[in-house]
């Protein structure tokens, strides 16, 4: 049973690059008063600072591939141990592989916590390519965008079924405006 002050929620956001999950995660986190933890943002900060972590992930990120699961496990475990994440969090961009989902489950289990919801923002791939090309970062090429989408389809999309089986999955149609998607997410969580 959850102890006093242990009041969640603990939410994972799934969604391909360009699905709007980062935007929605930030909006929901603010609404719920829990931190939105974006592993992509943490890694980009590390690269910008030129830290050891940044050095290790820079090239993999530039190719649109995934950083190794073991390294991500260290990053996420350390982040979730910080005080602000103890009473709930929203994960944006983790887990991205079956192995990462196992790691997250193990981290939570060690502190007798569990996930409350997994929100999958669904957008058809053609639409994602269109959106991704519009918002591409300076160093992204069409090729890197396609690599990111392929990685999502092959490695991350299988988590949708994994969490559906655990009855944690809530799917949201992401092909609408930011505020419409936001309202639907708020409604689902009520």
By CB under 6 A, is residue 94 in contact with ligand AMP?
A: yes
Helices (H) and strands (E) in the chain, counts: 9, 5
Q: What are phi and psi of 103, to 5 degrees?
A: -60, -45
Nearer to ligand AMP, 88 or 93 (CB): 93
Integer Cα distance of 9 and 34 in angstroms: 8
By CB under 6 A, is residue 131 in contact with ligand AMP?
A: no
By CB under 6 A, is residue 17 in contact with ligand AMP?
A: yes
By CB under 6 A, is residue 12 in contact with ligand AMP?
A: no
Closest Cα partner for 117 from 8, 1, 6? 8
Among 61, 101, 128, 185, binds ligand AMP (CB under 6 A): 61
Pattern of binders to ligand AMP over 134-163, x per CB under 6 A?
--------------x---------------
The distance of closest approach from Cβ of residue 72 to ligand AMP in the complex, given in angstroms and rounded to an integer, is 4
- For residue 111, the tally of other CB atoms under 10 A from its CB is 11
Look up residue 135 and give its two tokens. 């918002």
Nearer to ligand AMP, 39 or 182 (CB): 39
By CB under 6 A, is residue 32 in contact with ligand AMP?
A: no
Q: Which strand ranges, in their side-by-side order, compose the sheet holding 89-92?
A: 36-38, 89-92, 10-14, 117-122, 169-173
Integer Cα distance of 36 and 24 in angstroms: 10
Pattern of binders to ligand AMP over 73-92, x per CB under 6 A?
--------------------
By CB under 6 A, is residue 67 in contact with ligand AMP?
A: yes
Closest Cα partner for 72 from 56, 85, 50? 56
The distance of closest approach from Cβ of residue 145 to ligand AMP in the complex, given in angstroms and rounded to an integer, is 10
Q: How many residues bind ligand AMP (CB under 6 A)?
A: 16
The answer to whether 85 touches 76, Cβ cutoff 8 Å, is no
Task: State the residues that interact with ligand AMP by CB under 6 A.
Answer: 17, 39-40, 43, 60-61, 64-67, 72, 93-94, 96, 100, 148
């Amino acid at each position: 049973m959850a102890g006093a002050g242990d009041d969640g929620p603990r939410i994972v956001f799934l969604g391909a690059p360009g699905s709007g999950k980062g935007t929605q995660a930030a909006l929901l986190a603010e609404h719920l008063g829990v931190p939105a933890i974006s592993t992509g943002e943490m890694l980009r900060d590390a690269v910008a600072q030129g830290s050891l972590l940044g050095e290790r992930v820079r090239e993999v990120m530039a190719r649109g591939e995934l950083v190794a699961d073991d390294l991500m496990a260290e990053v996420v475990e350390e982040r979730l141990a910080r005080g602000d994440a103890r009473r709930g969090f929203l994960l944006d961009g983790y887990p991205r592989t079956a192995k990462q989902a196992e790691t997250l489950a193990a981290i939570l289990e060690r502190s007798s916590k569990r996930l409350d919801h997994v929100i999958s923002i669904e957008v058809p791939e053609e639409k994602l390519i269109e959106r991704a090309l519009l918002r591409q970062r300076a160093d992204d090429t069409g090729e890197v965008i396609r690599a990111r989408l392929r990685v999502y389809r092959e490695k991350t999309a299988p988590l949708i079924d994994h969490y559906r089986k655990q009855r944690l999955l809530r799917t949201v149609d992401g092909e609408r405006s930011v505020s419409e998607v936001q309202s639907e997410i708020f409604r689902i969580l009520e």
